[in-house]
Structure 1
Amino acid sequence: MLDTVREVHTPEGVALRLPAAGPVPRALAWLIDFGIRMGLLLAASMVLGAFDKAGMGVYLLILFALFWLYPILCEGLFDGQTPGKRALDLRVVSSDGAPVGWLAACVRNLMRTVDMLPFGYACGLVSGLFDPWGRRLGDLVAGTMVVHVPKSRPLSVMAADGVMAPVLPLRPEEQAAIVAFAERAPRLTPERQQELADIAAPATGAQGGEGVHRLAGIAHWLLGKR
């Protein structure tokens, strides 16, 4: 399966493009994580080998943690990225583009036991080949997908008054919609820019051209361009 793009639309009418990752980069990311886990396991065995039965008990706990908790904790704590995924610029997100939650991270990783059947991740590979966005069974059950992380680049639309914080708290999907608007705005007509900016008036406190500038300023603020 080649990498494809999934397009989802937010309630505000902004299209988000999610570039789905194919099996090759995902497999490479898994190999990196596997190497990290094996290295940690080897180091633990060398340290605990001198403690006989007590050391064996601790070793088994570490083995359990590395096999089950490593991916769950990494994806839950680090915005859907394990070290392997970060190295390959991949990220786990919800199917609607929102950040992955703890429940979804648990479900998709616990489902690995099914994806591994009957051997060599065969079920997961078959599922990924037939799914338009390369999702294995764990992703389908958890409502997640693995995407390429786009390279950060300066926004083409600059805020008239610099960066500004939103006047209301924003949900993750609303933050993503505002950033997507600012990235797409150069390709939109001024009328379409203002039409979309008017939808976000509660977050900007303005409409029309001023709303466009404020929306771009909020996007810069969300991206840390202070």
Structure 2
Amino acid sequence: MSSIKIPTAFNIDLEFEAADTGKRLLAYLIDSAVRIVFLLALIFLDSQVLHIENASLDGIYYGIVVAIPFTLYFFLCEWLMGGRTPGKAAVGIKVVSLMGNQPTAGQVALRSLMRFIESPMVFCGAVALIAIARSPYSQRVGDLVAGTIVVDTKAKHSLDQTIFRNIAVDYQPQFFQILKLSDKDLNKVKELLDRAVKQQDFVLAHRVAERVKTVLKIDTQMNDMMFLETLLNDYNYLVTRA
């Protein structure tokens, strides 16, 4: 399994593990099974429950209710589920952009369009397999075009893994400049801070703190880890209470 380093907004690389071909194939098989079950369920609904006898209505039913969701399955799932499909979620992989954040609707659309030439029905899926094998980030053609990668992640998300903090009503923020950063930037800071605290990596904490100070033009002698914690607290207070 290859390691992928993605540069953050603070010029510090985050590491991800590229999803191996076996997991991607298993996810595809699971998603294919879901699509088939969905198709059979709608056919059963038509034949056993709805009993649509009008040819025009029957055509509309199969053209809109059946065909569109079936065809757009991967696009809709990856867009609405933040880079996942039921199959990807089951095996613990997801699609992310090359910046490490959730893919945009446009990126997901490009990935989905390229499935027409990467489908197992076209040269037994050789196009996708060759691209994955030759790409340093294990990207298929759709990933290369859309600027995305598929990473292996078994992380369980909770409020502790976000920038959310319970802040006292009488809290006094110190660094109002923090509002210049986006939620995505703050999440990167939180992720790097958690790693530094867990590994007692004071060098990493110092690099992140110095980069933030430079970007926000902050001058403080506060301890690096305390400074980053204060930034997150300030952001929570200013956004939710101020």
TM-score of the pair, normalised by structure 1: 0.79
Does residue 200 in structure 1 map to residue 212 in structure 2? yes
Match of 1:159 in 2: none
Q: Distance in 2 between matches of 1:55 and 1:172?
A: 47
Does residue 88 in structure 1 map to residue 125 in structure 2? no
Q: 1:143, CA displacement in angstroms? A: 0.5
Match of 1:51 in 2: 52
User: For the Cα contact (< 8 Å) 2:77–2:83, is it kept in 1?
Assistant: yes
The one-letter code sitting in structure 2 at the alignment partner of 1:212 is: L
Q: 1:41, CA displacement in angstroms? A: 0.8
- Ranked by relative contact order (alpha carbons within 8 Å, sequence separation 6 or more), the top structure is 1
Q: Distance in 2 between matches of 1:181 and 1:100?
A: 21
Q: Distance in 1 between matches of 2:41 and 2:69?
A: 13
Question: What percentage of residue pairs aligned between the two structures are identical?
Answer: 27
Alpha-carbon distance change, 191 to 17 in structure 1, aligned in 2, over 3 angstroms? closer
What's the secondary structure of 2:122's corresponding residue?
coil
Q: 1:203, CA displacement in angstroms? A: 10
Q: Distance in 2 between matches of 1:192 and 1:98?
A: 21
Match of 1:224 in 2: none
What's the secondary structure of 1:120's corresponding residue?
helix
TM-score of the pair, normalised by structure 2: 0.75
Larger radius of gyration: 2
The one-letter code sitting in structure 2 at the alignment partner of 1:214 is: T
Q: 1:207, CA displacement in angstroms? A: 5.6
What's the secondary structure of 1:6's corresponding residue?
strand
Match of 1:129 among 119, 130, 133: 133
Q: Deviations over 1:194-221 (max 9, x none)?
A: 3421322449996631313325758999
Q: Which runs of 4+ in 1 moved over 6 A?
A: 218-221
Q: Distance in 2 between matches of 1:109 and 1:181?
A: 32
Alpha-carbon distance change, 191 to 95 in structure 1, aligned in 2, over 3 angstroms? closer
Q: Distance in 2 between matches of 1:26 and 1:4?
A: 14
Q: 1:118, CA displacement in angstroms? A: 3.1
What's the secondary structure of 2:123's corresponding residue?
coil
Q: Distance in 2 between matches of 1:133 and 1:219?
A: 34
Q: Distance in 2 between matches of 1:205 and 1:19?
A: 36
- Aligned pairs (5 A) from 1:4-153: 4-49=2-47, 50-52=51-53, 53=55, 54-116=57-119, 118-152=122-156
Match of 2:192 among 176, 181, 185: 181
